[in-house]
Amino acid sequence: MAARPSHMGPGRGPYRPDGDKPGEGGLELWLRLAEGVGLDRAEVASCRSVLPGVRFACDGYVQLVTERTLLEAVASSLTEAFAPDIMTKRILAWEKHYPWVSPDMLGYFRARVTRARRDSEEAIDWICDRATTYERQEACVAALIRKTEILWHLLDCVYAAYVEPGWGPAGGRA
């Protein structure tokens, strides 16, 4: 995966979401977690089993960051500001409710704690430097709101499929 341009912090090069070398980074850690809980790595990597509503939400986010300005795209990422605390809680929940999952399988969540904090701090600084007019600030807020709506849709789909099947607009239909 090629590096995407990003803010370069002191002493760091461009951020690469899937690592600097093959076999490292967020995607690899996610696949290790999938294997660690007994899922087939190739099936997870293929994305064939992704719920249609989740795929729709993910496509919606890609569309959001593709069609909006770079400033708005970065602003939409500010949901990451909440990730460190959420990831810390998830790690504790995994350890409590799934003690059979080895601690190294939780590497995805552990890595996100520090990475998300740094990403969101850099994003806030970058946005503040560039959102210098009311119109730009308003566009940033609108993009962030749209991202939260997309995430809400994703969570509703997962809830309807796994927590309470039959809940939601589709009712009990399969």
Model pLDDT for residues 117-135, shown as the tens digit of each residue:
999 999 999 999 999 999 9
| Residues 66-72, mean pLDDT to the nearest whole number | 97
Domains of the chain: 51-163 (1.20.910.10)
Q: How far apart are the first and last CA of the chain?
A: 37
Q: Is the overall model pTM greater than 0.85, yes or no? A: no
pLDDT of residue 110: 87
Helices (H), 17-99: 26-36, 41-46, 52-67, 70-76, 83-97
pLDDT of residue 102: 87
User: Is the Cα dihedral 30, 34, 36, 40 positive or negative?
Assistant: negative
25: confidence class by pLDDT, cuts 50, 70, 90? confident
pLDDT of residue 108: 83
| Residues 38-60, mean pLDDT to the nearest whole number | 95
* Helices (H) then strands (E): counts for the chain: 7, 0
